[in-house]
Every structure is written in C-alpha cells, then in structure tokens.
C-alpha cells in the first residue's frame, strides 16, 4: 500500500521530471544517439528474438515485418514459459494467448483468448492486413486463423501440464504477477526508412481466471506506436497498464518532450500515484523514439530488456521505482 512518504516522493519525482522534459534528454547508460535501424524487446528472450528482427531490418525490410519475425521466435520456443507454445495455462489448464501488432500508419491488429494456435502474432497481423477490424477474440479468432491456413496444435507441454497439476494440488490460487510467472515479449523496431512498428505476445498471467485477458493485446495498454513520435510496450501485471492505458501514456509523454527513459519513469510513477497496491506487482515499460533513443523503467527490480543495433547487442537491467523510493 502507498504510504504518505512514498506519495510525497512520487509527487516530487513527477514534478522534477516534468520540468526537465524540454531542457535535456536522458538516455540509457552508454547509449549512442540516433541509431537506425534498431530493435528493442522485453526480457532475456528478447535477445534471440531481436536477432530474427535484425535480419529483416538489415536486409532493408520494414519494421512491421521485423517485429512479427522477431516475436515468433519465443512464440515457437517451448522453453519460453510465458509466450506461445509451452506458456503457462489458465486455472483450468488451457493455454490462452493474447497478441497485438501495430505499424507506422496506425494500422493495428489483435487477437485475445486464442487457443491452440502457436503464432498469435501472425494471426493478429492477418487481422490487421486482411480485415476491417482491429481485434478478434476466442472462438472467432481461432476460426479466422484456421481459415487463413493455420493448424491447431496442443500448446500445453508436458512440463507445463505437470507444473499446473502441482499448482492445483497445492491450491495456490496465485492470480498475481510476480517475477516467476510473467514475461510477455514486447518488441519495438525502427527501420532504415525511419518507420516504427511494435508487436506484443503472451500467454498472460499464469493460472489466471478462465477468460481473463490482460493488457498485451490491447492497443494503447500493452503496445502503442505513433510514427511521428515513438513507440512503447509493456510487461507485468496487465490490469495496471489497462487502468492507465500505459503505453499510450508513454507515447503521449514523449510527444510532450520526454525522452523514452523519462516517459517510462513518468508512466510508472503515474501508476504508483493512482493505483493502490501497486507495490505488490511488477510493471515494466519499454520505449523507443523516432530518433532511435530508448529507455525503460519498472516497479520492482528484475526487469531487463534486449537491445540490438549496429553499435550494440546487449541485455540491460532496467532501473526500478522501488530502489528510487528507498
């Protein structure tokens, strides 16, 4: 719970940041300016995902194709337990997937509560490219995927099934997001033409209530791209991003002059100021602007993100609010 001391600190942090938006740009440590192409993504599984995106970007491909290719890597990897095949199931043992994608022309596509289809991001891309809609859910999303040639397959691996059964036995009704049971991949890319795109895909919160959909397929909450300004994606307890339309907020803060780093910090502080109980959860934002500057910030220690550009290929530990408040 928030206490008065934290509230005062948060208010001070907020006003200090706002006043320096226009006077300086805060870059992630050691980051050279204005890189293009560049791709950034959440968590360690972002490293191999970035390489797949990088291949597209360095062959003069478009950022939208790069982010789709990139996030398909963890979607197909059964060892990544929070995305695609091998993802944690819901309370009833069903793996339900959420994903969205957005390009530099405000086109976007999304699927939610999709079952038995390994690559939700590509179905979301087809929603974007081949329908007048933004979002398809559940059975309708699956039917659409089948019409487009995707096959159904069992996404609950033996490992996930055994762990879920163990969880059932122990009766741990854990609906909260903590550092063991989440790790959506959100990816943002700026291509050689200077265009931004983003993608976000997840199996959501482990052992969630059946029917629960988080922020990851919600345009504005788990992902947002405005090609004039920048792009943002999120990971962690989706309900907090949904309540604040977090990624849209990050992009709008960049529009007002914040660097990606400042915008992510402000968005996390907004959550902390507005939402009781925020300290029990993790939320991480990652942002990339039109110049190729990037930044990230989170509530709890432990969030990291992967960066790939001509100059660098590395995993960076995000700064976090808890240490700032200490």
* Cβ–Cβ < 8 Å for 307, 292: no
DSSP state of 211: T
Q: Which of 70, 109, 204, 295 binds ligand ASP (CB under 6 A)?
A: 204
Q: Which of 116, 235, 262, 289 binds ligand ASP (CB under 6 A)?
A: 235
- Distances in Å between the Cα of 76 and the Cα atoms of 33, 61, 181, 214, 235 are 33, 22, 18, 21, 19
**120 near ligand ASP, judged by CB under 6 A:** no
Q: Which of 236, 246, 260, 295 binds ligand ASP (CB under 6 A)?
A: 236
Stretch that binds ligand ASP, among 68-76, 111-119, 232-240, 257-265 (CB under 6 A): 232-240
**177 near ligand ASP, judged by CB under 6 A:** yes
Percentages (nearest 5) of helix, strand, coil residues in the chain: 35, 20, 40
Q: Which is nearer to ligand ASP, 118 or 182 (CB)?
A: 182
Distance CA 278, CA 290 (A): 30
Distance CA 226, CA 72 (A): 23
**198 near ligand ASP, judged by CB under 6 A:** no
Instruction: Name the residues annotated as catalytic.
Output: 184
State the sign of the Cα–Cα–Cα–Cα dihedral 214, 77, 136, 161.
Answer: negative
**215 near ligand ASP, judged by CB under 6 A:** yes
**240 near ligand ASP, judged by CB under 6 A:** no
Q: Which of 61, 74, 109, 238 binds ligand ASP (CB under 6 A)?
A: 238
- The conformational region for residue 224 under phi > 0 = left, psi -120 to 50 = alpha, else beta, is beta
Q: Which of 64, 205, 250, 298 binds ligand ASP (CB under 6 A)?
A: 205
Q: Which of 72, 182, 248, 308 binds ligand ASP (CB under 6 A)?
A: 182
H helix or E strand, kind and range, residue 317? strand 313-317
**81 near ligand ASP, judged by CB under 6 A:** no
* Cβ–Cβ < 8 Å for 100, 223: yes
Q: Which is nearer to ligand ASP, 21 or 281 (CB)?
A: 281
- Distances in Å between the Cα of 162 and the Cα atoms of 90, 157, 175 are 13, 9, 18
The burial class, CB within 10 Å (0-12 / 13-18 / 19+), for 178 is: middle
Q: Which is nearer to ligand ASP, 21 or 164 (CB)?
A: 164
Angle between helices 46-58 and 63-76 (to 10 degrees): 150
Q: Which is nearer to ligand ASP, 17 or 298 (CB)?
A: 298
Do you know the residue count of the chain?
326
Q: Which is nearer to ligand ASP, 37 or 186 (CB)?
A: 186
Q: Which is nearer to ligand ASP, 37 or 84 (CB)?
A: 84
Q: Which of 202, 244, 259, 289 binds ligand ASP (CB under 6 A)?
A: 202
**295 near ligand ASP, judged by CB under 6 A:** no
* Cβ–Cβ < 8 Å for 217, 62: no
Q: How far is the CB of 40 from ligand ASP (least distance, A)?
A: 15
**87 near ligand ASP, judged by CB under 6 A:** no
The footprint of ligand ASP (CB under 6 A) covers 177, 182-184, 202, 204-205, 214-216, 235-238
């Amino acid at each position: 719970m928030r206490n008065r001391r934290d509230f005062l600190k948060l208010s001070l942090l907020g006003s200090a940041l706002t006043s320096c938006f226009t006077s300086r740009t805060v870059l992630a440590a050691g980051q050279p300016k204005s890189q293009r192409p560049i791709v950034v993504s959440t968590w360690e599984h972002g490293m191999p995902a970035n390489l797949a995106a990088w291949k597209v970007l360095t062959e003069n491909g478009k950022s939208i194709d790069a982010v789709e290719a990139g996030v398909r890597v963890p979607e197909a990897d059964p060892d990544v337990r929070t995305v695609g095949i091998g993802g944690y199931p819901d309370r009833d043992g069903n793996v339900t997937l959420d994903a969205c994608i957005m390009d530099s022309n405000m086109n976007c596509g999304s699927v939610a509560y999709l079952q038995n289809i390994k690559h939700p991001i590509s179905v979301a891309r087809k929603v974007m490219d081949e329908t007048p809609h933004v979002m398809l859910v559940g059975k309708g999303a699956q039917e659409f995927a089948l019409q487009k040639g995707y096959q159904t397959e069992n996404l609950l691996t033996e490992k996930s099934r055994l762990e879920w059964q163990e969880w059932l036995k122990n009766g741990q009704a854990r609906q909260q997001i903590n550092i063991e049971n989440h790790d959506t991949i959100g990816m943002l890319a700026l291509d050689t033409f200077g265009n931004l795109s983003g993608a976000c895909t997840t199996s959501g919160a482990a052992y969630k209530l059946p029917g629960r959909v988080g922020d990851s397929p919600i345009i504005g909450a788990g992902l947002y791209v405005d090609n004039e300004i920048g792009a943002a994606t999120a990971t962690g307890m989706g309900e907090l991003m949904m309540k604040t339309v977090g990624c849209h907020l990050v992009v709008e803060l960049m529009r007002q002059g914040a660097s990606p780093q400042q915008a992510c910090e402000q968005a996390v502080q907004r959550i902390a100021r507005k939402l009781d109980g925020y300290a029990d959860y993790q939320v991480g934002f990652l942002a990339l602007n039109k110049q190729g500057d990037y930044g990230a910030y989170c509530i709890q220690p432990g969030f990291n993100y992967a960066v790939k550009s001509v100059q660098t290929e590395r995993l960076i530990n995000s700064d976090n609010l808890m240490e700032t408040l200490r």
